[in-house]
Amino acid sequence: MSSPSLRVPARAVALTAAVLLAAGCSTTTETAPPRTSPIGAPAGLERFYAQQVQWGSCRDYGPDAEQLPRGVQCARITVPLDYDDPNGETITVAISRSPASGQRIGSLLVNPGGPGAAGIGLATVADGTELTDRFDMIGFDPRGVGASEPAVRCRTDAEADADRASDDGDMSPEGIARTEQRHRDYAGACAQRAGTGLLAHVGTREVVRDIDVLRSVLGDEKLNYLGFSYGTRIGTLYAETFPDRVRTMVLDGALDPEQDPLDEVLLQAAGFQTAFDAFAADCARHDDCALGTDPVAAVGRFRALVDPLIAAPAETTDPRGLSHRDAITGVQQGLYSPRLWGSLRAGLAALTEGRGDTLLLLADLYEGRGDDGTYTNSTDAFNAIRCVDDPPVTDAAVAAEADRLYRQAAPFLDDGRASGAAPRDLCAFWPVPHTGEPHTPDVPGLPTVLVVSTTEDPATPYQAGVDLARQLGGALVTFTGTQHTVVLDGEACVDDPVIRYFVTGQAPAADPRC
């Protein structure tokens, strides 16, 4: 197995595999009051900061928006493609709003993660809490994602299916050459279909500029922001870029801006191994556990179950079958939350009987594939954003060492085909340069930010949250558990201080742990 970056999927997707929200959208159109003076507009960007929002139906804003309840409104705002050329090409960012029902403090923007995850469906994420009384809850699809236009599209639906069926674990010289050629072909398709102009300006650097435009057009002097997972990277960079424009900011499931991207991948691998071990221990208590009753032997039993899929996929009702690659993806999706462990256990039990339907469903959830065979653009956007955000690994020797360390960190993901060599990652072949580097945040004048970190988070290690709170001079809330992110997940010991912080602006005096 090679060691690519693991996507940190949208929190709402990861935790709602079997949950559908009631459908129905607002059909009214509402125009925001005219803004006579943009709030905090840099020179040359006044027309963007002063634009009016045309709120209306969410009907044409994608599947996530279509499931929003009545009363939630959607719109698009216009932003420059390139902030260094504000008179040049423009694009749009899709947003949603659930208006405050009580005494309004302002707007609260929510991002679910990714990168590449659509957030327009998160306008209702705080329903049933005081946040919906005091804030207009705002979801948004970052530029290039979901209903924002244009969206990054690199593959057709058929090409995405074919890619998932391919073998990316052959570490022979021929296998490595095939994998790297697929990377070149994919990068070339992205350049042709999405355009290098969009690809060069789809990164986090531009997203934070879009958020500041959004802050102004929503009528807020300062930003209130809740970011999950990769959304913490957006929040951190906004805090660095506009520290004087932050009112409150909660970052849950942190990425460490000082961390080398390869180190981040290896820590994720170790986190998934910890989650797999916890799942195996829980599974052993059930009669239908395909991993047996001894958690110590679970890795070996797991590999014996999935490795035959390298040669031949498992049967599924869907004609695609379950490839080895999809089996691993489905298992990783199931490890994001204990709420999905029952589905994962059922999927592995079915695989012992030669059936791959449940694991394929979990993999489809991760990959953004709908029942009709169409894909969201989450995977294409994920690749585009991460390749422009971070420096690529272009040295084959570094890729080989990363593969060795990856297998060591996560034995359950080691298919036994290590050769001492490995393909370079997709980003080594990307058609536009990267714009970000690991660094220590510089945030003079930033008010207290609240970081939430989970002790056994499989995707974003607990220590990253500890480090981010230190770097930002913020407060920390620790949650003891094995899941990816926790805010607004029904844990009162986390939600109570978070909600109090958003409403009052006051962080906890001590660093609570629960």
Q: Are 1 and 411 in contact (CB under 8 A)?
A: no
Q: Are residues 283 and 409 in the same domain?
A: yes
pLDDT > 80? residue 235: yes
Average pLDDT, the chain: 93
- pLDDT of res. 490: 95
- pLDDT of res. 343: 98
**Percentage of residues in the chain with pLDDT exceeding 70?**
93
- pLDDT of res. 486: 97
pLDDT > 60? residue 24: no
Q: Which of 447, 514, 440 is nearest to 243 (CA)?
A: 447
- pLDDT of res. 27: 38
- Tens of pLDDT, residue by residue over 272-331, are 999 999 999 999 999 999 999 999 999 999 999 999 999 999 999 999 999 999 999 999
Confidence class of residue 509 from pLDDT cuts 50, 70 and 90? confident
Q: Are residues 69 and 129 in the same domain?
A: yes
How many structural domains does the chain have?
Answer: 2
Let me know if residue 47 belongs to a domain: yes
- Tens of pLDDT, residue by residue over 383-433, are 999 999 999 999 999 999 999 999 999 999 999 999 999 999 999 999 999
Q: Which of 367, 375, 356 is nearest to 318 (CA)?
A: 356
Query: Please, what is the angle between helix 261-283 and helix 298-306, to 10°?
Result: 100
Let me know if residue 384 belongs to a domain: no
pLDDT > 90? residue 78: yes
Domain carrying residue 235: 11-149+204-258+444-504
Q: Are residues 218 and 103 in the same domain?
A: yes
CATH number, residue 41 = 3.40.50.1820
Report the predicted TM-score, pTM, of the whole model to 2 decimal places: 0.93
- pLDDT of res. 10: 47
Let me know if residue 509 belongs to a domain: no
**Among the ranges given (37-46, 73-82, 133-142, 279-288), the one the predictor scored with the smallest mean pLDDT:** 37-46
Q: What is the DSSP string of 94-136?
A: EEEEE--SSS--EEEEEE--BTT---GGGGGTTTTSTHHHHEE
Q: Are residues 286 and 172 in the same domain?
A: yes
pLDDT > 80? residue 514: yes
Q: Are residues 139 and 160 in the same domain?
A: no
Give the containing element (helix H, strand E) for 184: helix 173-193
* Residues annotated catalytic, as ranges: 229, 457, 484
Strand 90-98, strand 135-141: pairing: antiparallel
Let me know if residue 374 belongs to a domain: no
**Among the ranges given (11-20, 75-84, 287-296), the one the predictor scored with the smallest mean pLDDT:** 11-20
281: phi then psi, degrees, rounded to nearest 5: -65, -40
Q: Are residues 286 and 250 in the same domain?
A: no
Record the tokens describing residue 237, joined without a space: 């960079």
Let me know if residue 356 belongs to a domain: yes
Q: Are 462 and 453 in contact (CB under 8 A)?
A: yes
Let me know if residue 495 belongs to a domain: yes
- pLDDT of res. 37: 67
Average pLDDT over residues 7-27: 37
Q: Are residues 125 and 179 in the same domain?
A: no
Q: Are residues 182 and 217 in the same domain?
A: no
Strand 106-111, strand 90-98: pairing: unpaired
CA dist., res. 492 & res. 471, Å (int): 27
pLDDT > 70? residue 109: yes
- pLDDT of res. 26: 37
Let me know if residue 135 belongs to a domain: yes
Average pLDDT over residues 329-354: 98
Average pLDDT over residues 24-31: 42
Q: Are residues 247 and 299 in the same domain?
A: no
Let me know if residue 512 belongs to a domain: no
Q: Which of 402, 429, 456 is the last residue of a domain?
A: 429
pLDDT > 70? residue 31: no
Q: Are residues 129 and 31 in the same domain?
A: yes
Q: Which of 404, 429, 454 is the last residue of a domain?
A: 429
pLDDT > 90? residue 499: yes
SS3 281: helix
Confidence class of residue 271 from pLDDT cuts 50, 70 and 90? very high
Q: Are residues 87 and 186 in the same domain?
A: no
Q: Are residues 304 and 209 in the same domain?
A: no
pLDDT > 80? residue 506: yes
- pLDDT of res. 30: 54
- pLDDT of res. 66: 86
Record the tokens describing residue 12, joined without a space: 């709402």
